[in-house]
Amino acid sequence: MDAVERTVAIMEDDPTFDAGVGSVLNIEGYVELDAIIVDGASLKFGSVAAVRRVKNPISLARAIMERTEEMMFVSEGAERIALELGFELIDPEELIVERERRAWERRMSRIRGTVGAVALDSSGRIAAATSTGGVPLKRPGRVGDTPLIGCGAYANELGGASSTGQGEPIMRVMLSKLSVDFLVRGSHPTEAARRSLSFMADRTGGWGGIIVLDREGRVGYAHTSKRMAVAYSVDGEVVAKISSLE
């Protein structure tokens, strides 16, 4: 849990990504953030959607999971619970970078991608987390796949997954849960990732990407987008790359 929260929080703080600071702006010119974190051992999760005043929504999602009886809060309700849990609310302008302000003024933006992480600890517990600023010029209040269990992220005792891509198609097939279900049937994580994306493409025409980790520590990923940034560490070996279909 510590690993996936910290990994995602680092990416939320990096304006390179469409999560946290530097996220894309919606059609009215402000940022709305979604995030989820999942504990595969307990099947508990915490998530937030459409928050504007929380710098690291992934940390709020974890606090909701561990310190409340509920699992998901949205918009102003999420910000109120953030205050109750001791989080400091920020000025929404702190999430906006000049690059995205200019893109919004031109009514265009380059999609830079949701962020996510999956981790396995020494006791065999698996956790997954995902965070996003959504799609450019979305309608206020629109929520995609990221904060929904089984869609943006999923984990159980057999494996975990975190997804990115077109939110509505991902929701329609519950992409992360689908990938983990393929692990149950004996697929390698790479095969599970490919099969779930193929199923989504066949049924919905949607595209995306997913990272998958099983209880044996095997890593897999796949994408139907043109490219996807991916990094992983197994037995001390670190790999970081831009995977491309071109």
**What does the pLDDT look like over 101-112, one tens digit per residue?**
999 988 766 666
Section 149-156 average pLDDT: 98
The domains of the chain are located at: 2-244
| Residues 15-36: b if buried by 16+ CB within 10 A, e if exposed | bebbbbbbbbbbeeeebbbbbb
User: Is the pLDDT score of 211 beyond 70?
Assistant: yes
Cα–Cα dist 192/222, whole Å: 9
Does residue 6 carry a pLDDT above 70? yes
Which CATH number does 2-244 carry?
3.60.20.30
Per-residue model confidence (pLDDT) at position 113: 79
pLDDT at 236 over 90: no
Tell me: the pLDDT tens digits for 21-72? Answer: 999 999 999 999 999 999 999 999 999 999 999 999 999 999 999 999 999 9
* Listed residue (141, 117, 23, 123) closest to 61, CA to CA: 117
**Mean pLDDT calculated for residue range 17-22:** 96
pTM over 0.85: yes
- pLDDT higher than 70, residue 168: yes
Please identify every residue annotated as catalytic. 114
Number of H helices, E strands in the chain: 7, 11
Cβ–Cβ < 8 Å for 69, 46: no
Compute and round to an integer the Cα radius of gyration of the chain: 17
- Chain mean position to CA 67: 21
**d(C-alpha 170, C-alpha 151), whole Å:** 6
**How does pLDDT run across 76-99, given as a tens digit for each residue?**
999 999 999 999 999 999 999 999
Q: What is the mean pLDDT of residues 112-140?
A: 94
**Across 112-121, 165-174, 190-199, least confident range:** 112-121
What is the average per-residue pLDDT within 157-185?
97
Residue 140 is predicted with a pLDDT of: 95
pLDDT score recorded for residue 111: 61
Residue 246: pLDDT over 80? no
Q: What mean pLDDT, rounded, does the chain reach?
A: 95
